[in-house]
Structure 1
Amino acid sequence: MASLLPLIQDILPMILPASVSLTKAADILPPEPEPSEAEGASPAVRVISRHAIVDKTDRMCASVLILKPNSSSSIRHHGEQETILYTVSGKGALLSQPKGDDEEPQRHELGPGDFAFIPAWTEHQAVNESEEADLHLVLIRSGGQPVEVNLTDWGGEQVKDGPNR
Structure 2
Amino acid sequence: MAALLPIFQEIFPMLLPGPISVSKATDIAPLPPSPAPGETTNRPRARVINQDAVINKTDKMCATVLIVKPRSRTTIRHNAEQDAIIYAVSGTGVLLWIPNDEEVEEEEKPERQIIEKGDFAFIPAWREHQVLNESKDQDLHWVVIRSGPAPVEVDLLHWGGEVKDPPQQR
> What is the TM-score with the length of structure 1 in the denominator?
0.88
CA shift in 2, pair 1:4/1:37, >3 Å: farther
Listed as ranges, the matches of 1:132-151 within 5 Å are 132-151=137-156
Distance 1:147 1:34 in 2: 32
Question: Equivalent residue for 2:75?
Answer: 74
Q: Tell me, which stretches of 5 or more residues in structure 1 are unaligned?
A: none
CA shift in 2, pair 1:42/1:52, >3 Å: closer
Question: Equivalent residue for 1:16?
Answer: 16
97-106 or 56-65: bigger deviation: 97-106
Q: Is the 8 A contact 2:150 2:169 kept in 1?
A: no
Task: State whether structure 2 residue 26 is matched by structure 1 residue 26.
Answer: yes
- The percent of aligned pairs where both chains have the same amino acid is 50
> What is the TM-score with the length of structure 2 in the denominator?
0.86
Q: Tell me, which stretches of 5 or more residues in structure 2 are unaligned?
A: none
Question: Structure 1, residues 35-76: CA drift from partner, whole Å, max 9, x if none?
Answer: 348865654211100111111111101111100000011100
Distance 2:3 2:117 in 1: 47
Q: Is the 8 A contact 1:98 1:104 kept in 2?
A: no
Distance 2:162 2:120 in 1: 28
Q: Offset of 1:32 from its aligned partner? A: 4.6
Distance 1:66 1:10 in 2: 39
Task: State whether structure 2 residue 154 is matched by structure 1 residue 154.
Answer: no
Question: Structure 1, residues 71-110: CA drift from partner, whole Å, max 9, x if none?
Answer: 0111000001000011000001110125341321110101
C-alpha RMSD of matched pairs (Å) = 2.4
Structure 2 counterpart SS, 1:113: coil
